[in-house]
């Protein structure tokens, strides 16, 4: 049998049976909370973990545990091979040009701090400017403020419109010869808005500025290609993409990583040490002082394999359909106001209700076994922009279903019932 010529493969979303199979891979989804089946809608905070990821951790600690890059013994060599294989796998996952561009870190926050303190202190000085979007998570604000305090650089904020959309024209006006770096989210954690990172990068590069993209909320939801995006740095966390906590990735262009000073000193990152002088290893090891999170790296590889087995385009398509359904469902509930209605979006819905404060919404939904996030989502400037002290946030993953959205709607009607 041969494929019919001239036809493109047709991408289809996931059908309910496939989603049901996916759900069975996640032991946590079988839990009962407050005597109700768990409805987990807090995936932007952290996702649940599939068995393959859990087994990868278990396999390493039960049969493969050894340190990497040092021992000549069998287990150490095996661990080194597996650790570097995970790096190569992550390189392919985001289409980086070279595994040396993948630096293992604790998570997105550490990745951004690394760039601020290493690249930033070397290349950003007094009077220089750093552009952030108004949608940033505190992790993509505070490290830059710390850098500004150290160097005398200043932060400029690219605004968003009333739908939460990045305003390209306003951003263009902020760019100038003092702009050294533009740091933006790929997708907003508070609203879900996807930023036009490729267009942002093109414009920044015209002024010779570097571009860091915070990919924490994007990487397990939409396809990511760092070369096509043409960013200089891309940061993401394992635990928001079905992997474990305490591991993440900083992608950096190799030429940049080579010129950057180390972030932390210690073992693993050196070539030779005397009391007079130390020479550093090449990237990525230059930035990986100390024994790394080896089990985490192996589990990250399992997480990436899991995502790619579903297929990122199909996954994105399914999540988008679910987002549309959830948006329509919430809009039909009296007194619900959505914050951030622009498109495209990842599966995040932020909302407030006339009847109740977000924290009270969260507590009542919790009594129904429904987990959502309430508060400022570590993005207080976003809350200020939309004039609310806090929101309730529903965030989706590939294992969520329409039935769960219906359960959420029932829970929200109960909120109204309690408070009116």
Interface with another protein includes 359 (CB under 8 A)? yes
Q: Which of 357, 371, 401, 402 binds another protein (CB under 8 A)?
A: 357
Give least dist CB 163 to another protein, A.
22
Q: Which is nearer to another protein, 311 or 375 (CB)?
A: 375
What is the distance between the alpha carbons of residues 383 and 234, in angstroms, rounded to a whole number? Answer: 25
194 beta partners = 187
Interface with another protein includes 419 (CB under 8 A)? yes
Query: Which range in 121-129, 159-167, 330-338, 371-379 contacts another protein by CB under 8 A?
Result: 371-379
3-class secondary structure for 219-277? CCCCCCCHHHHCCCEEEEECCCCCCCCCCEEEEECHHHHHHCCCCCCCCCCEEEECCCC
Query: Which range in 114-122, 207-215, 219-227, 350-358 contacts another protein by CB under 8 A?
Result: 350-358
Beta strands 179-185 and 129-133, pairing class: parallel
What is the distance between the alpha carbons of residues 84 and 182, in angstroms, rounded to a whole number? Answer: 30
Interface with another protein includes 201 (CB under 8 A)? no
Query: Which range in 130-138, 245-253, 313-321, 370-378 contacts another protein by CB under 8 A?
Result: 370-378
Query: Which range in 191-199, 208-216, 223-231, 358-366 contacts another protein by CB under 8 A?
Result: 358-366
What is the distance between the alpha carbons of residues 132 and 399, in angstroms, rounded to a whole number? Answer: 32
Q: Which is nearer to another protein, 257 or 361 (CB)?
A: 361
Give least dist CB 356 to another protein, A.
7
What is the distance between the alpha carbons of residues 1 and 120, in angstroms, rounded to a whole number? Answer: 57
C-alpha dihedral sign at 161, 163, 168, 174: positive
Cα 37 to chain centroid distance, Å, stands at 27
Q: Which is nearer to another protein, 90 or 364 (CB)?
A: 364
Cα angle 249-95-25, degrees, rounded to a multiple of 5: 65
Q: Which of 243, 252, 262, 358 binds another protein (CB under 8 A)?
A: 358
User: Could you say which residues in the range 376-405 bind another protein, by CB under 8 A?
Assistant: 376, 380, 383, 389-390
Q: Which of 18, 64, 230, 360 binds another protein (CB under 8 A)?
A: 360
Q: Which is nearer to another protein, 321 or 380 (CB)?
A: 380
Count Cβ atoms below 10 Å from residue 136 Cβ, excluding itself. 25
Size of the site for another protein (CB under 8 A): 17
Q: Edge to edge, what strands does the sheet with 248-252 contain? A: 102-105, 248-252, 233-237, 210-214, 179-185, 129-133, 154-158
Q: Which is nearer to another protein, 222 or 379 (CB)?
A: 379
Q: Which of 77, 305, 375, 409 binds another protein (CB under 8 A)?
A: 375
Beta strands 39-40 and 370-371, pairing class: parallel
Q: Which is nearer to another protein, 392 or 405 (CB)?
A: 392
Backbone angles phi, psi at 176, to 5 degrees: -160, -175
CA nearest neighbour of 166 among 127, 131, 194: 194
Query: Which range in 118-126, 223-231, 346-354, 360-368 contacts another protein by CB under 8 A?
Result: 360-368
Question: With b meaning 16 or more CB within 10 Å and e meaning fewer, what string describes 333-355?
Answer: beebebbbbbeebbbbbbbbbeb
Give least dist CB 190 to another protein, A.
12
What is the distance between the alpha carbons of residues 116 and 140, in angstroms, rounded to a whole number? Answer: 10
Interface with another protein includes 356 (CB under 8 A)? yes
Give least dist CB 370 to another protein, A.
13
Interface with another protein includes 13 (CB under 8 A)? no
Q: Where do the H-state alpha helices sit in 60-195?
A: 74-93, 108-114, 121-123, 142-151, 168-174
Give least dist CB 327 to another protein, A.
24
What is the distance between the alpha carbons of residues 97 and 132, in angstroms, rounded to a whole number? Answer: 26
Q: Which is nearer to another protein, 310 or 418 (CB)?
A: 418
Interface with another protein includes 45 (CB under 8 A)? no
Match 């604790």 to its residue by tokens.
106
Interface with another protein includes 364 (CB under 8 A)? yes
Active site residue 148: no
Catalytic residue, from 91, 148, 231, 378: name it: 378
Q: Which is nearer to another protein, 163 or 363 (CB)?
A: 363
Interface with another protein includes 416 (CB under 8 A)? no
| Catalytic machinery residues | 378
Which residues of the chain form contacts with another protein (CB under 8 A)?
Answer: 356-360, 363-364, 367, 374-376, 380, 383, 389-390, 418-419
């Amino acid at each position: 049998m041969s494929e019919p010529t001239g036809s493109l493969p047709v991408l289809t979303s996931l059908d309910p049976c496939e989603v049901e199979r996916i759900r069975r891979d996640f032991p946590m989804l079988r839990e009962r909370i407050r005597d109700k089946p768990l409805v987990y809608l807090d995936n932007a905070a952290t996702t649940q973990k599939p068995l393959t990821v859990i087994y990868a951790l278990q396999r390493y600690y039960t049969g493969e545990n050894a340190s990497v890059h040092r021992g000549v013994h069998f287990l150490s060599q095996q661990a080194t091979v597996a650790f570097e294989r995970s790096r190569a796998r992550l390189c392919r996952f985001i289409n980086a040009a070279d595994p040396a561009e993948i630096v293992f870190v604790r998570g997105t926050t550490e990745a951004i701090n690394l760039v601020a303190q290493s690249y930033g202190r070397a290349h950003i000085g007094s009077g220089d400017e750093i552009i952030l979007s108004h949608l940033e998570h505190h992790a993509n604000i505070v490290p830059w403020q710390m850098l500004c305090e150290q160097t005398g650089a200043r932060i400029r904020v690219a605004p968003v419109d009333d739908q939460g959309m990045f305003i390209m024209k306003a951003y263009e006006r902020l760019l100038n010869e003092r702009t050294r770096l533009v740091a933006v989210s790929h997708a907003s954690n508070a609203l879900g808005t996807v930023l036009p990172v490729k267009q942002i990068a093109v414009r920044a590069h015209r002024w010779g500025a570097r571009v860091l993209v915070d990919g924490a909320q994007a990487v397990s939801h939409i396809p990511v290609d760092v070369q096509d995006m043409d960013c200089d740095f891309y940061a993401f966390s394992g635990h928001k993409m079905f992997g474990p906590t305490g591991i993440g990735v900083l992608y950096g262009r190799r030429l940049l990583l080579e010129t950057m000073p180390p972030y932390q000193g210690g073992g693993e990152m050196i070539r030779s040490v005397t009391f007079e002088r130390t020479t550093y290893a090449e990237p990525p090891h230059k930035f990986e002082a100390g024994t790394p999170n080896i089990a985490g790296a192996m589990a990250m590889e399992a997480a990436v394999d899991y995502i790619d087995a579903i297929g990122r385009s199909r996954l994105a398509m399914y999540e988008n359909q679910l987002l549309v359904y959830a948006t329509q469902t919430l809009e039909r509930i009296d007194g619900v106001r959505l914050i951030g209605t622009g498109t495209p979006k990842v599966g995040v819905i932020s909302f407030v209700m006339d009847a109740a404060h977000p924290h009270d919404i969260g507590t009542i939904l919790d009594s129904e076994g429904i987990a959502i996030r309430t508060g400022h989502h570590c993005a207080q400037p976003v809350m200020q922009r939309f004039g609310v002290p806090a929101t309730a946030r529903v965030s989706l993953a590939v294992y969520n279903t329409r039935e769960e959205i219906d359960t959420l709607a029932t829970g929200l009607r109960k909120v109204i019932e309690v408070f009116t």
